[in-house]
Amino acid sequence: MADYLTFKKSYRKSLAKEIEKLLDIENVEITRQFVSWDSFSFLVEIHSKPIYVAKIFKFPNWPTPGHLESVFELLSAQSISHENIVHLAHKHDVFPYGWQLSEFIPGGNAKDHLKRDDLNRDTYFRKTAEKLKKVHEIKLEYFGSLTNPKEQFKTYAELIEYEIKESTDYELASEFKHYSAVIDEIVNQLSNYLSKHKHFSATVVHNDVSSSNIMWNDGDPVIIDWVDALAAPPLRDFATLTYRKYHTVLPELEEGYGKTIDRDELRFHQFHRFLTLAKYYYETNDIYEFESMMYRAGELLERDIPFGCWN
C-alpha cells in the first residue's frame, strides 16, 4: 500500500468536468462524499437530482482490471441485481489510478436505515441471506481469484495457506509484540480445522458483506462493492456478517438462507477474517481497529461457538 493517492480539492471540479465530457451533459454537481477505504467516492447530481456515484481510485490496479466485469457477468447470468457501471478506467490524466462512474441506487444503505431504526434487524439479516443464497448458487471449480490464474487453487486448504502467508507477512512494533501469540494461535486454529476438514464447495462470495455495502432499494437488498469477491466456501460471507456480533443473528440468517449454518465452520471463517483484517488495520495505522480485531479474536479463542449465536 505504498502507492496511495492523496486527495486534492481540485478533484471535485475535475470530476464534474470529466462526467460532463463523458456524457455530453451540463450542470453536474459533485455533492456528498462517502467513506471508502479504496476510493474517494461521491454522489453525482444533475439538476439537483442524484443520478450517479463516482469513485476516484486510491491504489494502482485496484480493483484488478477485468475483475468487476467478470463478477457482474456472473451475477447477471443469475438475474442478481447489482450496481450498473457506466464507465471504468484504470488510468487518467488527472486521476492517476483511474476512476469509475456507476448509476445511483436509490434507497440508501442498510447501515443508515438500521441506525435510524426504520429497517427491522431481523428483516435485514433474513433478506440479506436470501440474496446471498442466490449468489452462492454460482458454483466454481477452483478457489481464489476470479480473474488471475496464478491465484487460483484446486483446494481451499491451498488458498488458506496462501492467504495466511499474505496476512502474517508484517512485523509488529515492540508495543504490539504481545499480539503475536494471538496471531500464532489463530493460525493454529485454521491449520487444525483444515487438517480435519478437506472438502469445501467453491462459490462466488462477496467477501465483505456488511450493512454499508448493501443498498436497501425498496425492500430489496442490492449488494455493492464487489472488489474483494472471489471463489470460496459460502460461509465466508456469513463470517463477515457475524464476526462483530455478540447477539444472536444466526436464526434469521438461517431462515433466509434456507439451511442450517455449520457453527464450527463459521467459527473457522471468523478466525480467518480477524487474521486478514488485523494486517489491513495495522498497515493502515488504524490501531484502534487492529487491537479490536486482536481482542475479539482472543474472545473467540475462549469460545466453543462462533460470534452471532448463543448455541
**Of the candidates 280, 304, 276, 287, the residue with the CA atom closest to the CA atom of residue 183:** 276
- Residues 73-118 have pLDDT tens digits of 999 999 999 999 999 999 999 999 999 999 999 999 999 999 999 9
Q: What is the average per-residue pLDDT within 131-143? A: 98
Q: Read off the DSSP letter of residue 25.
A: -
Residue percentage of the chain with pLDDT more than 70: 99
As given in the structure block, the three cell numbers for residue 27 are 450542470
pTM given for the model: 0.94
Burial class (CB in 10 A: 0-12, 13-18, 19+), 39: buried
- Residues 185-229 have pLDDT tens digits of 999 999 999 999 999 999 999 999 999 999 999 999 999 999 999
Distance CA(298)–CA(186), nearest Å, equals: 9
As given in the structure block, the three cell numbers for residue 177 are 509484540
Q: Read off the DSSP letter of residue 157.
A: H
165, 176, 216, 286 from 143: Cα distances, Å: 16, 33, 30, 30
Query: For strand 220-223 and strand 139-140, is the pairing parallel, antiparallel, or unpaired?
Result: unpaired
Res 95: pLDDT: 97
Q: What residue ranges in 112-240 does DSSP mark as E strands? A: 139-140, 143-144, 152-153, 202-205, 214-217, 220-223, 230-232
Q: Name the residue with higher pLDDT: 73 or 37.
A: 73
Res 1: pLDDT: 45
Burial class (CB in 10 A: 0-12, 13-18, 19+), 52: buried
Residue 2: pLDDT over 60: no
Please tell me the number of Cα atoms within 13 Å of 201 on its side-chain side: 8
Res 4: pLDDT: 84
User: Who contacts 127 (Cβ-Cβ below 8 Å, separation ≥6)?
Assistant: 219, 220, 221, 256
Q: Is the dihedral of CA 152, 157, 158, 160 positive or negative?
A: positive
**Of the candidates 76, 73, 68, 72, the residue with the CA atom closest to the CA atom of residue 100:** 68
| Residue range(s) of every CATH 3.90.1200.10 domain in the chain | 110-301
Q: Which CATH number fits domain 10-103: 3.30.200.20, 3.40.50.300, 3.40.190.10, 3.40.50.2300?
A: 3.30.200.20
Third-level CATH fold of 110-301: Aminoglycoside 3'-phosphotransferase; Chain: A, domain 2 (3.90.1200)
Residue 262's φ and ψ, nearest 5 degrees, are -65, 115
| Residue range(s) of every CATH 3.30.200.20 domain in the chain | 10-103
Confidence band of 250 (pLDDT split at 50, 70, 90): very high
Query: For strand 85-89 and strand 99-103, is the pairing parallel, antiparallel, or unpaired?
Result: antiparallel
Confidence band of 268 (pLDDT split at 50, 70, 90): very high
Contact 202, 143 (CB under 8 A): yes
As a whole number, the mean pLDDT across the chain is: 96
Q: What is the average per-residue pLDDT within 226-250? A: 97
Q: What is the average per-residue pLDDT within 286-293? A: 98
For Cα atoms 6, 7, 13, give the angle at the middle one, nearest 5 degrees. 145
Res 213: pLDDT: 96
Contact 93, 79 (CB under 8 A): no
Confidence band of 311 (pLDDT split at 50, 70, 90): confident
Residue 3: pLDDT over 80: no
Residue 66's φ and ψ, nearest 5 degrees, are 90, -15
Residue 171: pLDDT over 80: yes
Residue 231: pLDDT over 80: yes
User: Who contacts 108 (Cβ-Cβ below 8 Å, separation ≥6)?
Assistant: 215, 216
Residue 151: pLDDT over 50: yes
